[in-house]
Amino acid sequence: MNPRAFQGELQRALALHQAGRLADAEKAYARLRRVVPGNFDLVHLSGTLALQQGRHSEAAQALNLARRLGPTSAVCAMRHGVALMALDRGADAEAAQRVALGLDPDLPEAWLHLAGAVWRAGRLDEAIGAFERALALRPDYAEAHDRLGALLTGYRGHAAAEPHFVRATELDPRRATAWCNLGVCLLYRGRLSEALECFGRALALDPQLEHAHTARGLVLERCYQLPEAVEAYACALRLNPGNHEARSARLMGLQYLGRPREVMAWEHREFGGAVEAAGIRPRLPFAQRPDPDRRLRIGFLSPDLHRHAVAYFLEPLLTHLDRGQFEITLYHDHATTDAMSDRLRAAADHWIPIAGQSHATVEGLIRADGIDLLIDLAGHTGFNRLPLFARRLAPVQATYLGYPDTTGLAAMDYRLVDAISDPAGEADALCTERLVRFAPTAWSYQPPVSAPDVAGDRTGPLVFGCFNNFAKVTDETLARWGRLLAAVPESRLWLKGAGFEAAVLSAAVARRLAAAAIAVDRVDLLPRTPTLEDHLAAYGQIDIALDTFPYHGTTTTCEALWMGVPVVTLAGDRHASRVGASLLTAVGRPEWIAPDADAYLRIAAELAATWPRTQAARRELRAGLQASALCDHRGQSERFGTALRDLWRRWCAQAQAAA
């Protein structure tokens, strides 16, 4: 074919390509390659088309050849780097982008993709700089704003990311990922109605955007629309069964809905099976020396090492854990740090921030640290790293505190509980982990030093209260509370929860109260208070706290007891519905534990009817909690440490037997 004819055919193929007729363009390019196999433009365009079609291996081969044919093309090197990145060849992708920038330092696409490569490598500050260079060269680069916002979300927080998502949606209103990412930002900044609008925009543009379905479920959950939230997670999973974030969120939603425990056990095992089906399996062996008595490296991985319920239960254990036996590393997986973070950092040997880092980067860090026993503190709550635990990052892995159920992972060896929260027998059969009942109660509570004094005797109408997450308040619970209010004339009910100040949420709660035959004028809805001190002071206006069921409170129960408020709980058939029983047993108040729903009402009504005796109990509660195992920090820490040592010795015995 003569050069003029070839150029004409190439231009016709390129026109097909530019018109979006990719299959026809591919055939045209292939036909021309058989005639003129070594033309740079043809090979470059063929590789570009393969890249657009997701044929990344073919694209990498073609673009590699094109680079040899046209070594001065910065765009070709940049596209080759994109193909290499899609093949998970991060170092090679970074090298290709640096070649592109050496040829053309003002190529914004190369800066964008260099940022992605160094982000994947865990060099987040360098990635931010590269994104900013791309935006300096092209201020209207919507993709760069969107991706920089995504990096900042995990690394520096949602406030830093929001302006970039806003700008991305302004520059490209049809960019579904930007609307979704902006919605996630608004969700975690408490602007729920705006977040829902963003997810609606994202899904109208791309109904297959699974992340938007998952995030929409999180908003619905925060709006206390649990069935709708669970369905949103299911939508994401129908699009991608390997979406582990959606699967974890769905499991959390099912906890609130109180599905039968056998169903929940099956659902958690489904999670473990899905992780394994995705090829996420343990990597063995480990280099650790199986010496049962040596000093151990203990790692805790959590997104909640700041002012969070998990931190309040972890702090007393860390403070008193024997440093002669244990070297402690905390892997902090959240952009937020605060005074609680500072205290935890001071109680540990090493503090490793991992917020915003990829799973691969975190895995490399933990393996390099040679952790002997790695403890998950999140379970299926938000921002968990359970897929990493499925790869087995340490010889011994355990889960504790953050989640009231099994993880479903075969690679999670142990779950730390007590004999009341998880009675021996059926509880063991429902978990993939081996249950370790290490103490009389599984919790060690650190009362806030700034807590107000216990309020004096109250007068006026009796007030029942529940400050638990309102997502735990089922229709059955509301119906029982309605009967209680009817049994105690003139009594009131105080509910406290995030978002209650929003008219849309308070109206939804009012509708549910009315459906439960509860007069709305007998209920006060309190929004979240700005400080912990204000929150605890509110207990001074509560006479009797009502635990939710089947999903109990934990922190709220301890806080109520510390503030001198009796708590009535209903013991159920699983960990989530037995935490209250464990805590009340620990403080010597088993008489407030109901075996069934009728007893729950009777106990609460009797506390109201025998008010002088109840007032006396209120005055004794703080001292009772202080004297209990919950506040025996040194003793609980010793028991915790003994359990960790026992788990290590089991591994040593297995390793020595295998050797």
Q: Domain ends where: 78, 111, 139?
A: 139
Cα dist. 599→484, 509, 593, 594 in Å? 11, 26, 9, 5
Residue 3: predicted pLDDT:
81
- Residue-wise pLDDT for 396-446, tens only, equals 999 999 999 999 999 999 999 999 999 998 899 999 999 999 999 999 999
- How many domains in the chain? 3
Per-residue pLDDT, averaged over 513-532, amounts to 92
User: Is 552 in the same domain as 472?
Assistant: yes
- Identify whether 428 is part of a domain: yes
pLDDT bracket for residue 349 (50, 70, 90): very high
- Identify whether 646 is part of a domain: no
pLDDT bracket for residue 283 (50, 70, 90): confident
Residue 34: predicted pLDDT:
87
Q: What is the CATH number of the domain that holds 74?
A: 1.25.40.10
d(CA 79, CA 77): 5
User: Is 427 in the same domain as 478?
Assistant: no
pLDDT bracket for residue 282 (50, 70, 90): confident
Window from 73-77, 223-227, 436-440, 613-617 with minimum mean pLDDT: 613-617
Q: Are 325 and 295 in contact (CB under 8 A)?
A: yes
pLDDT bracket for residue 279 (50, 70, 90): confident
User: Is 304 in the same domain as 433?
Assistant: yes
- 6: pLDDT strictly greater than 90: no
Q: Domain ends where: 96, 123, 139?
A: 139
Per-residue pLDDT, averaged over 622-638, amounts to 97
Task: Please name the helix (run of DSSP H) or strand (run of DSSP E) that holds residue 647, with its range, or none.
Answer: helix 633-658
- Identify whether 176 is part of a domain: no
- Percent of the chain at pLDDT exceeding 90: 86
Q: Are 361 and 370 in contact (CB under 8 A)?
A: no
d(CA 621, CA 560): 9
Q: What is the CATH number of the domain that holds 303?
A: 3.40.50.11380
Q: Are 418 and 441 in contact (CB under 8 A)?
A: yes
Residue 59's domain comprises 38-139
- Identify whether 529 is part of a domain: yes
Per-residue pLDDT, averaged over 126-155, amounts to 97
Q: What is the CATH number of the domain that holds 528?
A: 3.40.50.2000
Q: What is the DSSP letter of 139?
A: T
Residue 310: predicted pLDDT:
96
- Identify whether 283 is part of a domain: no
Residue 617: predicted pLDDT:
86
To which residue do tokens 């092209």 refer?
138
Please provide the average confidence, as pLDDT, over all residues in the chain: 94
Q: Are 220 and 228 in contact (CB under 8 A)?
A: yes
- Identify whether 50 is part of a domain: yes
Q: Which amino acid is at 150?
A: A
Query: Of 417, 401, 420, 451, whose CA–CA distance to 586 is shortest?
Result: 420
- Residue-wise pLDDT for 370-394, tens only, equals 999 999 999 999 999 999 999 999 9
The larger pLDDT score, comparing residue 2 to residue 220, is at 220
User: Is 390 in the same domain as 503?
Assistant: no
User: Is 392 in the same domain as 508?
Assistant: no
The larger pLDDT score, comparing residue 13 to residue 583, is at 583
Q: 414: which strand partners?
A: 398, 434
- Residue-wise pLDDT for 288-343, tens only, equals 999 999 999 999 999 999 999 999 999 999 999 999 999 999 999 999 999 999 99
pLDDT bracket for residue 37 (50, 70, 90): confident
- Percent of the chain at pLDDT exceeding 70: 100
pTM of the model: 0.92
| CB atoms closer than 10 angstroms to residue 34 | 7
- 456: pLDDT strictly greater than 80: yes
- Residue-wise pLDDT for 460-516, tens only, equals 899 999 999 999 999 999 999 999 999 999 999 999 998 898 888 888 899 999 999
pLDDT bracket for residue 8 (50, 70, 90): confident
User: Is 478 in the same domain as 610?
Assistant: yes
d(CA 529, CA 315): 23
Q: Domain ends where: 422, 437, 452?
A: 437
User: Is 520 in the same domain as 432?
Assistant: no
User: Is 367 in the same domain as 468?
Assistant: no
Q: Is the peptide bond before 550 cis (omega within 30 degrees of 0)?
A: yes
CA 614 to chain centre: 40
Cα dist. 215→147, 177, 183, 239 in Å? 17, 12, 8, 14
User: Is 427 in the same domain as 543?
Assistant: no
d(CA 496, CA 390): 37
- Residue-wise pLDDT for 50-104, tens only, equals 999 999 999 999 999 999 999 999 999 999 999 999 999 999 999 999 999 999 9
Residue 424, class by beta-carbon neighbours within 10 Å (0-12 exposed, 13-18 middle, 19+ buried)?
Answer: exposed
User: Is 391 in the same domain as 471?
Assistant: no
Residue 7: predicted pLDDT:
86
- Identify whether 290 is part of a domain: no
pLDDT bracket for residue 530 (50, 70, 90): confident
d(CA 107, CA 138): 9
Rounded (5°) CA angle 101-107-108:
115
User: Is 468 in the same domain as 577?
Assistant: yes
Residue 266: predicted pLDDT:
96
Residue 250: predicted pLDDT:
97
Query: Of 485, 478, 483, whose CA–CA distance to 508 is shortest?
Result: 478
- Identify whether 218 is part of a domain: no
Residue 241: predicted pLDDT:
93
User: Is 480 in the same domain as 397?
Assistant: no
The larger pLDDT score, comparing residue 79 to residue 36, is at 79
- Residue-wise pLDDT for 560-570, tens only, equals 999 999 999 99
Per-residue pLDDT, averaged over 11-21, amounts to 91
Residue 280: predicted pLDDT:
76
- Residue-wise pLDDT for 551-609, tens only, equals 999 999 999 999 999 999 999 999 999 999 999 999 999 999 999 999 999 999 999 99
